[in-house]
Amino acid sequence: MDQDDEIAAAAAAYIVLSPKKKKRKHKCWVKPSLCDRSEYGGMHLLNVLKKDDVYIGNNKNNGSVKNFLRMSSTDFEWLLCQIAPKIQKEDTNYRQAISPMERLLLTLRFLATGDSYHSLMYLFKISVSSISRIIPEVCKVIAEVLNPHFIYSFSL
């Protein structure tokens, strides 16, 4: 055997005999701290803020809700009705999809505060990877929906 054949044989032996990387098994699909989204997530907080506004008699001005979202409840509901069909996702056998209301809440809170994705993760109980997909998608849909209503083209 010449030197090239020896190198090829050594490389083949190395590939065959080298230990295989084991696929890492996920301990869980969702972090335990994110599992209780329905009880302690952003939706729950919004409902608490709405109740606070009713309790203090500030229902007309939506003080707490407007402070949280930088928009009134009626404007939020109108915007949600406009974009919900376009941001709705299907539930799977393994997990429930994030609702259009949660998607819009998350996006509006990001736009209102500029919070980091990690901060939003703890507030809304949604993973950073999901947040990084949701916010650009919802912003794009909001721009598409609001463009005909609020952006006018001027001709000179």
Give the tens place of pLDDT for each residue, 5-56.
778 777 777 777 777 776 666 565 566 556 665 666 777 677 777 776 666 6
> Does residue 62 sit within a domain?
yes
Please tell me which residue, 120 or 46, carries the higher pLDDT value.
120
Q: Which domain holds residue 118?
A: 36-147
> Does residue 64 sit within a domain?
yes
Q: How far is CA 24 from CA 21, 63, 73, 93, 129, in A?
A: 9, 48, 45, 23, 19
Give the tens place of pLDDT for each residue, 75-105.
999 999 999 999 999 988 877 888 999 999 9
The number of distinct structural domains making up the chain is: 1
> Does residue 59 sit within a domain?
yes
What integer is the mean pLDDT of 121-149? Answer: 92
> Does residue 95 sit within a domain?
yes
> Does residue 31 sit within a domain?
no
> Does residue 120 sit within a domain?
yes
